[in-house]
Structures are given as structure tokens and as C-alpha cells.
Chain A
């Protein structure tokens, strides 16, 4: 199989398979959660907290002052890599073309050099996060295979994309195929690892926020 054959497979059947598994897995999990239903809350709802669930979806993304002081490196690197990942994913012109082709939506791209710089920063943040996880005794103790797999699955598309863009390590065609395949691997495992939080976080945050709001908690 030549480099081009691999690229064509990645852009054809590979993508179809990965996308299908991802959609199937995500909906399987989400629909299971939704179909289970909620316990009826017989208490009287406290006033003024009707939108607590929706507010919490966003408010939980803001840093918690106490935790920010205690785990500053986690916050700093966590924010860096989450924001960087989405900048690279959503604002690189070739990626926008993919969205335009598959979902019919497009938007203006950022200059490639800017996305390139952000990607490098994101890769560094991810590497530092791993180092911190291995260095910190509590984090190391709590870490499972899932944590390391999720980290590797997140790093792979960023690293391969960066190497492809700069024509490093492997011929461009092969590196582009590796990049697309790494994204497909991420899609395949996303519903079955901790990466499922990309979807479930909205559900769980709304659920918690709504329940707490019902009880009158200040959010």
C-alpha cells in the first residue's frame, strides 16, 4: 500500500467507519442517560433559579478561585490545551473545508502561522500536563490507563498535524494520512474513554446545576 493509498483510505472508508462508530457510541451513551429519566423532585423549587442548569454549563468553565490557587499548573495547562485544541481544530483553513463539506457550515480561517503557533503551545501544554501527572504523587496514584490513553489520543492529531504542516519526519502524503488516521482513532475511542466528556459535560453540568438551583444553591 503506497502513501497515497493510505491517504485515500483515510479520507474514504476510514473516515466513514470512524465517524459512524463515534456517532453510534456517543448517541448510545447519551440516549441511555436520557432514557433512564430523572427522579421526580417533589420539593418546592426555590425562586429565581429557573435557568440554573443552563448557566452552570458555562459557569463551570470559569476557574474556581480556591482551586486555582491550589492547582495552578493544572488550570494553566488545562486551559491552554483546551483552547489551543479548539483553535487548531476550528480555525485552520483545511479543517474549515472539512466542516463545510460534511456539515455545510463554514467560517473565516485564522492565518496558518497563528494556528501553527497555537498548536505548538498546545503540544507543549499537553507534554507538561503529562510530566505534572507523573511528578505529582496524588495525580499519579489516581491515574488509570484511561487517563494516559485519552492524553495520547488527544496529542496524536496535534503532533501529527504539526509535523505534516512542517513536512517533518515522514513524507507529507504519509504524514497527512497518519494525521487523518489519528483523528479517526480519536473519534473511535472518544465515546468509550474519558473523552466522552466532550459531549456528556453539557448534560452533567446542566443536571447538577438544575438540581442545585432547585434547592436554592447560589451558583
Chain B
């Protein structure tokens, strides 16, 4: 790196969770850092279901008073539903443990939360420019600029080029830059899901009443079964402060090849279901949004580092969908923190090559991020073949519940006699296989 004098110590692409936290760590350590964000403000292009598990934010901001943060609600109720076209079976779980410091989770809206996070980086001295899409990365093809052939040394936006010793790619799930950075090919449709979401305004009091929650608290509600009309996917409702988010997440390959009703029609059907429609009564839609979700787990992750470059957050496909919970944002925050810390280390050592940036991968390996992703590496494959969850089990549960709760005056039969034929519809072997598969994968 003889004469190479970069404009910045680090350039971060994308002011989402991973990007802003990485910039915060770098700036806090006294490094010069530029964040380039394509939205007109941080969060303008982002969308989540969604809820964030707060533990990773506590780790970045250990002294912060979390009651001051722009969260929507603290999640005190977990709801899971198995939906058939004409019925719905819901489990509602609440527990003090769900809301304790360090293990609590919050619903957030990204256009509200991300500007706050970006501001934390700015307060430490990071520079953020918005409304600028990074179109390309600068790569030192022959080593004539930085002394290392193949090293990433900056970004290009329109006519402008800016250089840095390290570039952190946090440009989201649909990154067009990871191919150039680390040779990552466009992910296959079977590893990706599409999310469509609508936000409805609803008064704080009505949300409290509908979801049986105290002021400031809220619910995370997941739907499986007929929401995606027999295909791989599910539905969500999250309570925000004075709105609710309702959406569908569905596997792109399954929908593209087999859906009779498009993904947005599935959301319309969910809204019309008798178990959901009353929630939306008198509510006013204020936004319709779409986003992709990386669901392939560790099997679809790109290389996490290259010479001069780190990949973090959704761009690195850090997400798991377990059916009963979906996580990604706490991984993104942690990855941003490790990326920032590892970049500082590499800058101090004067080596931002792939091996100089190894601290990032080491930190991830020793943390919940890669431990979780490894732990759940069988889940995507299991979910993909779990057709009975989307068609079969919802009807089985419906019929069992009907047997228990519908009283019409005919003499009651022993439970064993009424339930067995219903389970036989699905088949004991299938039931056994699915439970065993779930135990192995989860």
C-alpha cells in the first residue's frame, strides 16, 4: 500500500441496522467513516415485519436508557395460530420473562427506528450521505493502487468515487454488490421469501384492548396453515404504538411455480379471514410495502470477508425462520458491531486484507450469530418439505377442536373414538415423521 491515501478509513454502504452500528463502532474508536445510504434518510428503503430482540442493542449501547428509544411496543404476548380456511386455532402466551431487561423484544418501524440509530453513529462523528445509491465497488484489479490485486478500495456513485481502507457492505438482502465484493452469485429462489406488508392506523387504546396488553406493551402474532393456501409461508401481525403491521411471507419458488393466488391476494385473504377481520375494523391503511427475506440459513451465506471488504446483516443473509419466531435484526446489529470492531483492529494493525479482517469472522463464530445459524442449518430443508403444516394439520386441529367444543345434543362419544379417525386422516406415520423431523431440525 505504498502511496495509497484513501479518503476515509472506512466506507459503509447502507444505513440500516448493520451499517449504522458498524459506523458507530468505527467512529467511536476515532476512525474516519462515511456511510452512503440510497434512501433519502436512514430507513426510507427498509421494511420489517417486525420485532427486534434487544439483547444485541444492549451490547452496543450498554448505558442507554431503553425507555427513550423509538421502539413501538415491548412484546409481552406471543401468539401462534394454525389457520384453516374456515377456522383458526391460536395459542397466546404471556410471561414476565418475555419483558425482562436483556431478553426483551420490541416491535419497530424501520422508517422510525433507523434514523435514530444513524443519529447515534453521527453523534460519534460518522458522516452520512443519503439519497445516493452506490452503483459499483472500486476493485484494484492488478494491485497498482493499493498494492494488493483484487482488493476492494472504495465505492462509485454516478461520477463520484470515494476510497477507503475498508468497505463494509450492509446494503441489504438484495445486494447487487456482493458479487463483485466476494463473488457471491444471485441467490436461488428456493432460498428466498417475499414479504408483503400493510400498516394500518389504530388507536393506542384499541390496540391495548384488542390484544389484551398494557400501555406500551404489544403482541407478536404468527400464522401458519392456510394463510399461504397450502404453500410454504406464513402470516404476521405485529402491534405498533398506534398502528398494526399485517403481512405475508412466502417462499418465492413455491409461489412462483404453484400459487393460484398471488402473494398480495393472500394478504387480502388473511385480512378477510373471520379471525382477523375484526382487528382491522375501522382501521385505516397507510402503507403497502414489500421486501425479501433470506430464509436459506447458513447454507446460502456468502463469504463474509474479502480483501478490503466485510459483508454484514441481510447482505450476508443472516436470518432464521423457525416457524414460531423469525430473527434477523438482532443478528444484523451484532454483525454490525463485530464488523466495526474488527475493522478498527485491522486499521490499527495496518492490514485490511482478508486475513487482517479475520477478527470479524472469529467474533461471529464465537457469538450467537453463527452458532445459531449452524444450529438451525437443517431447518430450511425441513420447512421446505413440511407441506402438512400448510395443508393437513390446520384441518386436523380444526376437526379435533370441533369435536371438543361443538355440542349439538347427540350423545357424546369417548374422546379416543372421536379423535382417532381425525388423526388417521393425516396418518400416524406422517405425524411421527414430522415430529421427528422437527426435533432433528429444531
Q: Do A and B bind each other?
A: no
Taking Cβ atoms with an 8 Å cutoff, the residues of A that contact B are none
